[in-house]
Amino acid sequence: MKDFSALAAPESEEGRLLARLDPSRMPRHVAIIMDGNGRWARSRRLPRVAGHRAGIRSVRETVESAARLGLEVLTLYAFSQENWKRPRSEVDTLMDLLQEYLRKELATLHENRIRFSVLGRLAALRPAIRGELEGAVAATAGHDGLRFNIAISYGGRAEIADACRAIVRDGLAEEAVDEAAIAARLYTAGQPDPDLLIRTSGEMRVSNFLLWQIAYAEIHVTPTLWPDFRFRHFLEALLDYQGRERRYGGIEDGEEIAGGAAAARG
Ligand code: FPP
């Protein structure tokens, strides 16, 4: 079992949060909707893109934390299909930041044996960025540490539609189309579903993110804006998760079933 004591000084705020974390009840997959970059920038009278730039530090720290905590999968929502509607200059900056991030962080991904993947309709991306992303995916494919997914040009409904198309392409018989057949054709095929979905900046929405995969995820919404999201916020989310009782539509252990029918739904 993981020992977290080396991850922060015991007397620090992070150290106190870590001491409360149960290493045997960690989520396997954490997915994050990174939100609030624009508000972070506006509150400082800066252009929106300054918020995205500041958000890179949170990305870097969160990936590192997830690897050090021994999580299996971390998925970050970097760019939705709807984000293509933003002003051209903002889209270009986001793509440039992604490219810059990959160039700067590839060595760190290797050092930490992180396996990098991309979720989304990549055909919509500039060829140079697509090439860079695919290069990083191929270069880290043999790693056995954290699996780090970035969702780019991503839409949950589009992902399900793509899986349906693959089913038709594969010529499956009607009886063979079940949940496993769909899951095997999602962008996350072979990965565990998220146990914990974190959203920053206080918005209570799932925004078309991993719609199929979050069916039973616990949701943690923090008012913290993404550029301010630090290790302690990540730990607070994990502690919140560990305080939840997961029921997957069933009933509590040992709970009496009134009238012989379980009414519990979620
Ligand atoms: C939401 O904030 C954030 C995004 C649309 C982009 C997130 C991207 C990054 C943090 C940088 C690139 C990512 C990686 C993985 C290198 P918003 O602009 O919608 O904020 P607002 O709701 O306050 O306006």
* pLDDT tens for each residue of 6-56: 999 999 999 999 999 999 999 999 999 999 999 999 999 999 999 999 999
- Report whether 114 contacts 59 (CB < 8 A): no
- Report whether 211 contacts 193 (CB < 8 A): no
- Burial label for 170, CB within 10 Å (0-12, 13-18, 19+), is exposed
Task: For residue 213, report the distance from its CA to the centre of ligand 1, in Å.
Answer: 22
Is the pLDDT at 80 greater than 90? The verdict is yes
Q: Which residue from 34, 58, 221 has its CB within 8 A of the most atoms of ligand 1, so it is best to mutate? A: 34
Q: Which residue from 44, 52, 53, 119 has its CB within 8 A of the most atoms of ligand 1, so it is best to mutate? A: 52
Strands (E), the chain: 29-33, 73-80, 115-119, 147-154, 196-199, 218-221
Tens of pLDDT, residues 152-167: 999 999 999 999 999 9
Report the candidate in 154, 103, 159, 162 with the shortest Cα–Cα distance to residue 133. 103
Query: Three-class SS of residue 79?
Result: strand
- Work out which ligand 1 atom sits closest to the CA atom of 36: 23
- Report whether 116 contacts 66 (CB < 8 A): no
Is the pLDDT at 266 greater than 60? The verdict is no
Side by side, the strands of the sheet bearing 147-154 are: 115-119, 147-154, 73-80, 29-33, 196-199, 218-221
Q: Which residue from 32, 33, 37 has its CB within 8 A of the most atoms of ligand 1, so it is best to mutate? A: 37
- Report whether 227 contacts 37 (CB < 8 A): yes
What's the pTM? Answer: 0.93
Known catalytic membership, residue 37? no
Query: Three-class SS of residue 238?
Result: helix
Pocket residues: Cβ below 6 A from ligand 1: 34-39, 48, 52, 55-56, 59, 76, 78, 83, 94, 97-98, 101, 150, 201, 226
Within 10 Å of residue 101's Cβ, how many Cβ atoms? 18
Catalytic pick among 22, 35, 144, 240: 35
Backbone angles phi, psi at 196, to 5 degrees: -135, 130
Between CA 95 and CA 132 the distance in angstroms is 11
Task: For residue 65, report the distance from its CA to the centre of ligand 1, in Å.
Answer: 19
- Work out which ligand 1 atom sits closest to the CA atom of 83: 5
Query: Three-class SS of residue 223?
Result: coil
Between CA 158 and CA 98 the distance in angstroms is 22
pLDDT score for 256: 53
Helices and strands per DSSP (H, E), number in the chain: 8, 6
Between CA 42 and CA 204 the distance in angstroms is 21
Catalytic pick among 3, 22, 83, 253: 83
Report the candidate in 47, 70, 66, 60 with the shortest Cα–Cα distance to residue 107. 60
- Mind listing the domains of the chain with CATH numbers? 30-243 (3.40.1180.10)
Between CA 30 and CA 74 the distance in angstroms is 5
Tens of pLDDT, residues 175-230: 999 999 999 999 999 999 999 999 999 999 999 999 999 999 999 999 999 999 99
Known catalytic membership, residue 170? no
